Amino acid sequence: MLGLGYRRAIALLRGIVRDGDLPDVVRGDVRLNLGLLLRNQAGWYEQGWQDTEIAVRELRDSPELAARAMAALAMASSGEHPYGSYQWWIARAEGLLTDRSDPALRLAVRGNHVVLRMMAGDPTVWAEAEGMMGAGRTPEECLQLARLSGNLAEATTWLGHYAAAQRFRRVGERLAAECGSPWLQGIVDGTSLRLEWGLGNWRDLATRARQVLDMVQGVSGTAADAYLVLGLLAIARGEWDEATDALEAAALGDPVNARAPVLAAAAGAMMRVWMARGALGSARAEAERAVARVRRKGMWVWGADLMPTAVAVLVRHGRASEADALVAEYAAGIAGRDAPLAAAALEACRGTVAYAQGHLAAAVAAYEAASARYAALPRPYSAARAAEAALRYGLAAGGLAGKAGPAGTAGRGGAGRAEGRSGARAARELTELAERFAALGATRDAARCRRVLRDNGVSISARRVRRGYGDQLTPREKEVARLVATGRTNREIADVLFLSPRTVEQHVARVLHKLNLNSRSEVPADAY
């Protein structure tokens, strides 16, 4: 059910379970479906968990239905329970099944166990996961396989196994269509948005995310994915208000009822917004809350989009020793796990701590390793940001050196001298990074690289013959037009693009002239 349908169903089922004359097994069956609706579509995870736990007790005389309820309690992405509690529930569920149990139910319970292990980065789960893909024969079994494929696509996306995620996504899309299940298709759509963001396929991604929001009409999980992607895209463009609104809608506005990996990623993104705005106290508070949640749950592999920023926040607060201890805890938490995205994030964390301790060569090596790991996934935006940090740490103390710390944060000029890059080579690499960011659509990051080049007297335009644009907007004018269309003042645009207000004023004048407009309020949203 999508949209208003599940809301009506929740009200109906809630009324039924209040009927004191129902036998326990009937009430338990109804309550189980209520709990599933609350968790899977409404996003009321805690209430859904409580109803499902009650249903387990009411279904004590119906082992198969009880097993179904227990398997539902073994989905680790919802709630703040420790990982061990999910393992306990799935073990109980499997213990209730026999060879004579319904095949679709056995497939559902086994599938939930496989997903639970995959979510944790269990390196031994792959053969079993792949082996289940052709197991379905009946329509109900195919429905369970569609659900399993969508859940595996989600799990492997969070881990950074992008090739596997794409494969599971395709299977999930096909099976959901065959089963005629719009809800399962919605799960796949939400995962697809996050996967395309990670792969750097950002063209029209914001439009797709808004279309998904219109389609799912508030179904919690899919909407959270869409809002998270909109928030991440807004950060890359330097749109802080839009990013804040989207991240609040994704998870931060109601953390108790947010999916745990989405909440961790949203918290990491929000810390970037706070740091960009100079609100270090807010960034530190967000970091402490987010790390505490991951620690409580014990799912460190879900910290890949959280930990690098949390470590940077601690360093910015002068708490390098605490940051070092957190990195060691993170390393222990992902040790032995098949989680390539977390492994890349760990290298970035180590680079930030090494920089804070004055070990520039170690910082360069760590960030270069992080960039290589991100690129191998591939995750081009993270790879470029790590490469930028490695470049900055590797520059000499003079010239282009020491202008900034980790990508997007202020650094410590003159902290030391690292070997291996000439000023000319550094300028070339920074120019190439600016172009990589711009190609992705990361306006803010591209502008930051260009600012460093400008501050050091390096002209990007002198490096190549540039096409004549005539009456067409140049790439920079398109960036300015987009920000004007969103209502930004010249000073706000200057902050996003690392330009002076006077330069922005000139760009705005050219935009109005080329578009034959009289006022900035007339700049259309599609001018860029």
- pTM for the structure as a whole: 0.88
Q: Among 329, 299, 301, 327, which Cα is nearest to 313's?
A: 327
- Contact criterion met (CB below 8 Å) for 356 and 320: yes
- How does pLDDT run across 510-522, given as a tens digit for each residue? 888 888 888 888 8
- The CA distance from 123 to 142, in Å, is 26
Q: Among 74, 82, 88, 81, which Cα is nearest to 118's?
A: 74
Q: Where are the alpha helices (DSSP H) in 38-135?
A: 45-58, 63-72, 83-96, 103-119, 126-131
Is residue 479 in some structural domain?
Answer: yes
- The CA distance from 40 to 43, in Å, is 6
Confidence of residue 399 (pLDDT cuts 50, 70, 90): very low
Per the structure block, which two tokens stand in for 421? 């890059």
Q: Tell me how many domains the chain contains.
A: 1
Residue 87 has pLDDT above 50, yes or no: yes
- Contact criterion met (CB below 8 Å) for 381 and 200: yes
Q: Where are the alpha helices (DSSP H) in 97-204?
A: 103-119, 126-131, 139-159, 162-179, 182-199
Q: Which residues contact 523 (CB under 8 A, 6 or more apart)?
A: 481, 484, 485, 511, 512, 515, 517
Residue 137 has pLDDT above 80, yes or no: no
- Number of Cβ within 10 Å of residue 260's Cβ equals 24
Is residue 162 in some structural domain?
Answer: no
In order, the DSSP letters of 367-387 are HHHHHHHHHHTT-HHHHHHHH
Is residue 105 in some structural domain?
Answer: no
- Residue 474, sorted as left (phi over 0), alpha (psi -120 to 50) or beta, turns out to be beta
In order, the DSSP letters of 179-240 are HT-HHHHHHHHHHHHHHHHHHT--TTHHHHHHHHHHHHTT-HHHHHHHHHHHHHHHHHHT-H
Is residue 221 in some structural domain?
Answer: no
Residue 220 has pLDDT above 80, yes or no: no
What residue type is 310 in one-letter code? A
Place of tokens 């009822």: 257
Burial class of residue 187 (count of CB atoms within 10 Å of its CB; 0-12, 13-18, 19+): buried
- How does pLDDT run across 407-435, given as a tens digit for each residue? 544 444 333 333 445 667 788 888 999 99
- Number of Cβ within 10 Å of residue 521's Cβ equals 9
Place of tokens 């929001």: 213
- Contact criterion met (CB below 8 Å) for 251 and 258: yes
Q: Among 286, 272, 285, 299, which Cα is nearest to 385's?
A: 272
Burial class of residue 177 (count of CB atoms within 10 Å of its CB; 0-12, 13-18, 19+): middle
Please tell me the predicted confidence (pLDDT) of residue 475. 78
- How does pLDDT run across 243-274, given as a tens digit for each residue? 999 999 999 999 988 999 999 999 999 999 99
- Mean pLDDT value of segment 316-331: 97
Q: What percent of the chain has pLDDT over 90?
A: 62
CATH code of residue 516: 1.10.10.10
Confidence of residue 204 (pLDDT cuts 50, 70, 90): very high
What residue type is 137 in one-letter code? R
Q: How far apart are the first and last CA of the chain?
A: 38
Residue 166 has pLDDT above 60, yes or no: yes
Q: Among 119, 115, 180, 179, which Cα is nearest to 148's?
A: 115
Please tell me the predicted confidence (pLDDT) of residue 219. 63
Is residue 483 in some structural domain?
Answer: yes
Residue 81 has pLDDT above 60, yes or no: yes
Place of tokens 């709630």: 79
Peptide bond into 380 cis (omega under 30): no
Per the structure block, which two tokens stand in for 526? 């599609």
What residue type is 82 in one-letter code? P
Please tell me the predicted confidence (pLDDT) of residue 414. 36
Name which residue leads in pLDDT, 121 or 5.
121
- CA-based R_g, the chain, Å: 25
Indicate the DSSP class of residue 78.
B
Residues linked to residue 78 through DSSP beta bridges, in sequence order: 259
| C-beta pairs of 132-136 under 8 Å, 24+ apart in sequence | 132/107, 133/171, 135/107, 136/107, 136/175
Residues linked to residue 259 through DSSP beta bridges, in sequence order: 78
Is residue 356 in some structural domain?
Answer: no
Please tell me the predicted confidence (pLDDT) of residue 450. 87
Is residue 517 in some structural domain?
Answer: yes
Sign of CA dihedral 412, 418, 422, 425: negative
Please tell me the predicted confidence (pLDDT) of residue 469. 73
Is residue 488 in some structural domain?
Answer: yes
Please tell me the predicted confidence (pLDDT) of residue 460. 58
DSSP helix, strand, coil percent of the chain (3-state; round to 5): 75, 0, 25
Q: Among 294, 333, 301, which Cα is nearest to 80's?
A: 294
Show the domain range for 496.
Answer: 475-522
